[in-house]
Structure 1
Amino acid sequence: MIEKLMVRNYRIFDSFELDFNAGVNLLVGDNDAGKSTVLEAVNLALTGRLNGRPIAYELSPYLFNTKAAANYLAQIHEGKQIPPPEIIIDLFLSDDPDLAPLKGSNNLTGNEAVGIRIRIAMSPEFSAEYKNFIADPEKIKLIPAEYYSVEWLGFSGNGITTRSAPLSTSFIDASTIRLQNGADYHLQSIIREYLDPKERVELSRSYRSTREAFAEHDSVKEVNAKLGGTKGDITDRELTLGIDISQRYTWESSLVAHLDGLPYQFVGDGERATLKILLALNRKAVDAEIILIEEPENHLSFASLNMLVSKISEKCKGKQVLVTTHSSFVLNKLGLENLVLLSPTGGVRLGQLPDGTQDYFMKLSGYDTLRVVLARRVILVEGPSDELVVQRAYRDSHDDRLPIEDGVDVINVRGLSFMRFLDITKALKKNSTVVTDNDGKLALDVAARYANYTAEPFITVHVGTDGNGNTLEPQLLSANGRDALNAILGKSYATDDDLKNYMKENKTTVALAVFDSTDTISMPEYIRNAVAN
């Protein structure tokens, strides 16, 4: 299995290091965090190929990290005669006796380990050409990738070839899989498995008869008669229209996959994506030890994604799997404890969540755990009305900016336990805030329930003040008064109790009015404190 990946100067990664689980690894992160690059680097180390071709044929100045390239160019323009930067991808493997030929210290740690190295560096045979190249620094705009060569080695220094690659891998990306016009692997395997030789011969004979009959159709004869009249214009030989019945085109290669009677190319993107991934799993995952899957959720409905995730879990048992995703569903279903939050330098793991939390989200897999993971800061609230009011409070105190504009995500946990979400933020050391009602209890007692979390400096809990009401609505009334709220809501209630009852029975309507109002609104103290950070 793969234990660790170390990268230098490759694409988004200047200096990157990531440890892997033996089973499933779920890679998440913002756009350009490097999720796809991790899969690409692992696949490159295991296969020596990029975009389906040997890496030597894909060398480009744009493979190099932009920071490394800029630093190189700056020094060259200063007149320094330095070698161009190198790309290094080190893949550390488990210490297995079968992999002993790969063991050595030729890696970025300098320690004895088993692993594979891809090194892309300037070839010594181009030293003279490179010296001439840098003689005029002002003309140099890009790294001279033409002078580079590729080394594919074990940490021992022994060379690796496609045949000697120690681990088999399957890289599955539905956006790049192309099913051919002829029979795909799945159909051919069914034909081989379920048809005996006599049946195949009979089908082949019947298919050939059908094609021969094509030439006897009246419309085909008419076309051929007209083509015969062109003899001499293009060729002196007789030109006719027919179907190729040579052995080169067998009946199996003319089959086309259909879904509910529709040819594959006319099926929706979601069905095609699912079919391509499952066909790839059937074809490649059987013998592969490492499975790499790029964003399986693309184009899929909830039901289709549920089926696909179940199939991935079933077919990849006992294998090491790396999955990139932007889907909370995929994240929850395949296990939050497998999450790796990527950054340009490495990854942060959730680790072992408290008992019950992982199962909790697997059963309620539609919840927005990925929003928690990706936000710079999260504010957790109890319902949609709290969400709107907190967003208004944040906007009022942050120069008319909504929270999301500052990377702050206000998440309605829909009455669920705040502590389940805090288990995630605590593991990730994520700046997080809870805004909650006192529900008739002492605010100090409510806050005390979260003591295990608020012991962390990055987690705070803010509770509605004692005496100002049990929930958000009376807290708003206490902070603003009846006249101000009547004006905001377009009402004319004569007593606080009547207004309070209206607000409780129309929570979302009231919250929308507060959010949209152009009037100055005084927010309850606990909400002001929650958005102040």
Structure 2
Amino acid sequence: MPLITRLMLQNFKKFPELDLRFTHDRNILVGDNESGKSTILLALDLVLSDSRHRVEALGVESLLSQSAVRQFQEGERRADQLPVLTADVFLSNGGDPDLNGRQNLAGINADGLRMRIAPMTEEYGRDIHNVLQQDPDNFPYEYYSVRFSTFSGGHFASFRRYLRHLLLDSARIDNEHAAQEYTRTVYSVNVPVADRYRLENSYRQQKMHFCTRHLSAINDTLETYQFGVRVMLPTC
């Protein structure tokens, strides 16, 4: 079984870029609060789990680097310049040709797994263009998709585990999981994909409008935290 040797991130949450190497024995992450320890563990878990559902539950808006989004919004706002999120997990050489390749941020021949969250410009280029033209503050999070692959470029599925891992996180325990899954299934069966993206984008805009109109006055009086809206559509 291979070991994790390196993690490279691009536009993942608070990290515009990160290159972190691991030892073959025990690794301990030490740092102040909000320094990114949990973010590193989340990136590893998402890549190794190959869980599209987990990415959708967290939401692209929460995963994509906000500094990259701001930089895009302050620029020409062209669809071909939309930021891309990449997380590469490098593995020790285990002799598996399916894992080996150069499709990684380092551009070297290595074994590893990749998660890439990018805009679907080929499938929804016109819709993305319309979103960017409608409102200068709007960002097309809903038109992003996630792909899991090996460094060879081949897709890998969760049923084939290249690496055993376990993330213990009590915050992920959810008693409403079954009900959420049922609602998600019914919604996805009855609403076409293009309509889902359009509705999700509109719904997020309404949430932002609500926060700006009704919560900004309250948040202006707070120093240590801010109120917001976290309710999501069934597919988010």
**TM-score relative to the length of structure 1:** 0.31
User: In the alignment, which of 124, 127, 143 is matched to residue 125 of structure 2?
Assistant: 127
1:157 aligns to what SS in structure 2?
coil
Note the C-alpha offset of 1:57.
4.6
Contact 2:84-2:118 within 8 A present in 1 as well: yes
What is the identity, as a one-letter code, of the residue corresponding to 2:38?
Answer: S
Contact 2:60-2:141 within 8 A present in 1 as well: yes
What is the identity, as a one-letter code, of the residue corresponding to 2:92?
Answer: S
What is the identity, as a one-letter code, of the residue corresponding to 1:64?
Answer: L
Q: Relative to 1, partners in 2 of residues 1:131 and 1:36: Cα closer, same or farther, differing over 3 Å?
A: same
Q: Relative to 1, partners in 2 of residues 1:46 and 1:109: Cα closer, same or farther, differing over 3 Å?
A: same
Task: Please name the residue that 1:18 is paired with.
Answer: 20
Task: Please name the residue that 1:111 is paired with.
Answer: 108
Note the C-alpha offset of 1:126.
0.9
2:74 aligns to what SS in structure 1?
helix
Instruction: Output the aligned Cα RMSD.
Output: 2.0
User: In the alignment, which of 33, 36, 49 is matched to residue 34 of structure 1?
Assistant: 36
What is the identity, as a one-letter code, of the residue corresponding to 1:72?
Answer: F
Q: Relative to 1, partners in 2 of residues 1:80 and 1:170: Cα closer, same or farther, differing over 3 Å?
A: closer
Give a deviation string over 1:57-95, Cα, whole Å, max 9, x none: 54332321121111011114xx65543111000000001
C-alpha separation in 2, matches of 1:47 and 1:142: 31
Contact 2:51-2:158 within 8 A present in 1 as well: no
**Equivalences, count:** 172
Q: Relative to 1, partners in 2 of residues 1:174 and 1:132: Cα closer, same or farther, differing over 3 Å?
A: closer
- In percent, how many aligned pairs have the same letter? 31
Structure of higher CA gyration radius? 1
User: In the alignment, which of 143, 146, 153 is matched to residue 147 of structure 1?
Assistant: 143
**TM-score relative to the length of structure 2:** 0.67
**Are 1:43 and 2:40 matched, yes or no?**
no
C-alpha separation in 2, matches of 1:16 and 1:33: 12
Contact 1:48-1:55 within 8 A present in 2 as well: no
- Equivalent positions of 1:249-264 (< 5 A) are none
Contact 2:103-2:152 within 8 A present in 1 as well: yes
What is the identity, as a one-letter code, of the residue corresponding to 1:13?
Answer: F
What is the identity, as a one-letter code, of the residue corresponding to 2:30?
Answer: V
C-alpha separation in 2, matches of 1:81 and 1:157: 24
Q: Relative to 1, partners in 2 of residues 1:80 and 1:128: Cα closer, same or farther, differing over 3 Å?
A: closer
Q: Relative to 1, partners in 2 of residues 1:73 and 1:27: Cα closer, same or farther, differing over 3 Å?
A: same
Contact 2:48-2:113 within 8 A present in 1 as well: yes
What is the identity, as a one-letter code, of the residue corresponding to 2:131?
Answer: F
Worse overlay, 142-151 or 118-127: 142-151
C-alpha separation in 1, matches of 2:56 and 2:97: 27
Task: Please name the residue that 2:59 is paired with.
Answer: 59
Task: Please name the residue that 1:168 is paired with.
Answer: 164
1:170 aligns to what SS in structure 2?
coil
Q: Which has the higher contact order (CA 8 A, sep 6+)?
A: 2
- Equivalent positions of 1:425-440 (< 5 A) are none
Extract unaligned runs of 5+ from structure 1. Answer: 180-533
Contact 1:89-1:118 within 8 A present in 2 as well: yes
Give a deviation string over 1:382-423, Cα, whole Å, max 9, x none: xxxxxxxxxxxxxxxxxxxxxxxxxxxxxxxxxxxxxxxxxx
Q: Relative to 1, partners in 2 of residues 1:59 and 1:176: Cα closer, same or farther, differing over 3 Å?
A: closer
Task: Please name the residue that 1:72 is paired with.
Answer: 72
Task: Please name the residue that 2:97 is paired with.
Answer: 100
Q: Relative to 1, partners in 2 of residues 1:100 and 1:82: Cα closer, same or farther, differing over 3 Å?
A: closer
